[in-house]
């Protein structure tokens, strides 16, 4: 019989919508917290993990009532922050004796500001395992949690909160996270699984929250641990999509080659993979080892304008990228590669963006364009005044104007990205769209857009502007729309993405 006197903790993962036909997924973040806490504090806490998708207030209330937690922890990301705010409000109003813990990238960036906004009790910065265990240890012993690395309290000094850092543990200390209890649900075919093979990042990108956490020292999981993760998913959730959420799985070329057979075995079994990389370490041997139709690569180019590259601390040679992209096409013909470019960036004007969008389509059938977001706790955010950046203060934190681009220009960039991506991926329109671009505009997607835009009547322009403004506000924002459309998500139907796509397609000149 379960010991009902244990300290009860409810760890919550939420998402308003799901991706790419996968109706639900696995939260790696709360699974890692639960498995490590149970290893370090055996028998001292009863930890329950739950994953909510879509509108979840009623389900959340019922879960809290039935489980009776003393502490509720929320995993906070850009895409769920509105939901988390609402659930924190429910806790404070309907369950006033329950403590609230915040963690994750959004909590890390916002820190004490977000703690106070949500009237929460604790906030963990960065990697949470060590701080979470020490917090639980204090709470189960009924003492005030003080002097815990990575933990911010409501009365923490602003200077402390700004400098707060979590303790980075050796990854070999972390227990296996993939279990039914850690998932908070039964696994089944065709789920969405995040998986990490490493922690940390060798880059120092000025737009990234994690840059400020001193995590440039990369820590790798063992080959055996990665094989164990993959074996579990293959056995329990066949045909799932596995998102390898490393900063760059291929930064260590020799290790990536060594791991290739493990991923290949899962791919051959029917799993699809998404990897993130920036091509710096890629050569022909790596390309040949990762050539498979079930692999998808998100290639971070970020910006072509040299001024923007310098602001972002991500300088590279466009010529070298072109050579590697060409080699990938030759060596990996059945593999999907998405070139990812950021726009609405400091140091880039409208002409720079037009060059970038035309270059991206010259390199890829379906590039991805992401409106730059001014994340809290980043070097770019700290230098926003110096860079003359104006941004939306609430998620998704889109940059609204810069010294180089007015708000009107950046709105046009948004509309251009939305329209071009939608028309380029529509089964009915894309053949005509691409033919016109090749024959009338010399291959220039930007010229084609402006010609179509200037030819639209007031109603047509109003439709595109309306979709743009709705996506700018979120929570289903431009990034989510770009990902869905670029992955062939249906452009007809009742979901929010298809409704926007139908509106955009309706104004295409026929």
Residue 66's domain comprises 7-163
CATH number of the domain at 63, please: 3.40.50.280
Average of per-residue pLDDT across 70-81: 93
Find the radius of gyration of the CA atoms of the chain: 23
For residue 214, pLDDT beyond 60: no
- How long, in residues, is the chain? 510
**Residues paired with 198 in a beta bridge:** 220
For residue 404, the 8-state DSSP code is S
| Residue 453 resides in a domain | yes
Q: Do 132 and 278 reside in the same domain of the chain? A: no
Residue 105 placed within a domain: yes
Lowest mean pLDDT among 74-78, 102-106, 182-186: 182-186
As given in the structure block, the two tokens for residue 298 are: 């998100």
The pLDDT confidence band at residue 4, using thresholds 50, 70 and 90, is: low
Do 361 and 246 lie in a common domain? yes
Alpha carbon 40 to chain centroid, angstroms? 29
15 compared with 163, residue with greater pLDDT: 163
- Enumerate the β-bridge partners of residue 219: 199
Q: Is residue 252 part of a domain?
A: yes
Does the pLDDT at position 23 exceed 60? no
Say if residue 101 is in the same domain as residue 198.
no
User: Does residue 104 lie within any of the structural domains?
Assistant: yes
412 lies in some domain:
yes
Regarding whether 467 and 335 lie in a shared domain, the answer is yes
pLDDT at 183: 84
- Tens digits of residue pLDDT in 450-508: 999 999 999 999 999 999 999 998 778 898 899 889 888 778 877 888 999 999 999 99
- For all residues of the chain together, what is the average pLDDT? 92
Residue 396 is assigned to a structural domain of this protein: yes
What was the pLDDT predicted at 20? 45
What's the confidence (pLDDT) of residue 464? 98
Model confidence pLDDT, tens digit, residues 232-282: 999 999 989 999 999 999 999 999 999 999 999 999 999 999 999 999 889
Q: What is the pLDDT of residue 212?
A: 64
Same domain, 343 and 275: yes
- Are 254 and 305 within one domain? yes
Residue 78: the pLDDT is 85
pLDDT of 118 reads 95
Report the SS3 class of residue 294: coil
- Report how many helices (DSSP H) and strands (DSSP E) the chain contains, helices first: 21, 16
The mean per-residue pLDDT over the stretch 320-335 comes to: 95
Q: Is residue 179 part of a domain?
A: no
Determine the Cα angle at 359 with ends 249 and 347, to 5°. 85
**Do residue 391 and residue 501 come from a single domain?**
yes
- 235 shares its domain with 363: yes
pLDDT band for position 2 (cuts 50, 70, 90): very low
Indicate the burial class of 67 (C-beta count within 10 angstroms; 0-12, 13-18, 19 or more): middle
- Asked whether residue 201 is assigned to any structural domain, the reply reads yes
How far apart CA 402 and CA 383 sit, in angstroms, is 12
pLDDT tens for 366-393 read: 899 999 999 988 999 999 999 999 999 9
Count how many domains the chain has: 2
């Amino acid at each position: 019989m379960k010991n009902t006197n244990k300290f009860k903790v409810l760890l919550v993962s939420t998402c308003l919508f799901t991706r790419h036909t996968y109706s639900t997924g696995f939260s790696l973040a709360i699974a890692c917290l639960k498995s490590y806490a149970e290893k370090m504090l055996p028998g001292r806490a009863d930890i329950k993990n739950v994953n909510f998708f879509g509108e979840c207030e009623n389900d959340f209330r019922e879960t809290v009532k039935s489980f009776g937690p003393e502490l509720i922890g929320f995993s906070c990301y850009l895409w769920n922050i509105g939901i988390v705010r609402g659930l924190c409000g429910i806790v404070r109003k309907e369950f006033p004796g329950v403590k609230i813990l915040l963690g994750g990238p959004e909590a890390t960036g916002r820190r004490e500001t977000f703690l106070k906004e949500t009237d929460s009790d604790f906030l963990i910065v960065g990697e949470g395992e060590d701080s979470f265990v020490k917090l639980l240890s204090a709470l189960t012993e009924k003492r005030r949690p003080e002097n815990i690395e990575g933990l911010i309290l409501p009365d923490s000094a602003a200077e402390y909160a700004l400098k707060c850092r979590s303790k980075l543990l050796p990854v070999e200390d972390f227990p296996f996270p993939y279990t039914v209890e850690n998932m908070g649900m039964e696994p089944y075919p065709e789920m969405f699984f995040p998986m990490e093979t490493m922690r940390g990042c060798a880059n120092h990108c000025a737009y990234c929250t994690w840059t400020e956490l001193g995590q440039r020292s990369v820590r790798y999981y063992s080959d055996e641990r990665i094989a164990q993760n993959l074996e579990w998913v293959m056995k329990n959730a066949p045909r799932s999509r596995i998102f390898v959420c490393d900063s760059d799985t291929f930064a260590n070329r020799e290790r990536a080659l060594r791991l290739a057979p493990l991923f290949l075995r899962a791919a051959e079994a029917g799993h699809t993979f998404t990897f993130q990389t920036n091509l710096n370490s890629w050569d022909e041997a790596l390309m040949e080892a990762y050539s498979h139709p079930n692999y998808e690569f998100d290639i971070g180019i970020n910006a072509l304008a040299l001024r923007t590259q310098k602001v972002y601390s991500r300088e590279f040679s466009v010529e070298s990228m072109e050579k590697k992209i060409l080699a990938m096409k030759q060596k990996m013909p059945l593999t999907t590669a998405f070139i990812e470019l950021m726009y609405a960036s400091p140091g880039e004007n409208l002409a720079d963006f037009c060059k970038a969008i035309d270059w991206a389509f010259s390199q890829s059938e379906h590039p991805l364009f992401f409106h730059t977001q001014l994340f809290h706790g980043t070097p770019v955010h700290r230098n926003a005044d110096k860079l003359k950046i104006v941004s939306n203060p609430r998620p998704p934190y889109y940059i609204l104007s810069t010294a180089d681009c007015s708000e009107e220009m950046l709105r046009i960039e948004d509309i251009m990205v939305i329209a071009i991506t939608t028309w380029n991926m529509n089964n009915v329109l894309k053949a005509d769209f691409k033919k016109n671009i090749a024959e009338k505009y010399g291959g220039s997607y930007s010229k084609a857009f402006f010609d179509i835009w200037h030819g639209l009547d007031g109603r047509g322009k109003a439709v595109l502007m309306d979709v743009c403004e709705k996506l700018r506000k979120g929570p289903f924002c431009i990034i989510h729309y770009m990902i869905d459309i670029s992955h062939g998500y249906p452009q007809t139907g009742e979901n929010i993405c298809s409704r926007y796509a139908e509106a955009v397609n309706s104004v295409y000149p026929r």
